[in-house]
Amino acid sequence: MQNRGLMREPATIHLGDIVEMRKPHACGTNRWTVLRTGADIRIQCTQCGRAVLMPRTQFVRALRTISHPEASAPPEQQP
């Protein structure tokens, strides 16, 4: 018997993360910046700037990959 109510939770989502969604936005890109997390997730299109608020369950289903920009940036040096 399948349990359709259980979903796989992705890695922790942080503000400022760049996420790639399964379907592209109307402007043609599928990369979004996370603006808000919680029960609802607010994301902003990286190409046109449109912001969308969606329930976390819908977001998790539509999510493909997560990029953490602060992890890939080189550490700043203190003088």
Element (H, E) at 48: none
- Quick check: is 45 in a domain? yes
This prediction's pTM: 0.73
Q: Are 43 and 32 in contact (CB under 8 A)?
A: yes
Q: How far apart are CA 38 and CA 13, in angstroms?
A: 10
> Greater confidence, 52 or 10?
52
Q: What is the mean pLDDT of residues 71-79?
A: 56
Element holding 40 (H helix, E strand): strand 40-45
* 31 found inside a domain: yes
Question: In total, how many domains does the chain have?
Answer: 1
Asked whether the beta carbons of 35 and 63 are under 8 A apart, the reply is no
Asked if residue 63 is part of any domain, the answer here is: yes
Which structural domain range is residue 27 located in?
Answer: 18-69
Counting residues of the chain whose pLDDT is more than 90, the rounded percentage is: 61
1 lies in some domain: no
> Has residue 46 been placed in a domain?
yes
| Residue 56, in any domain of the structure | yes
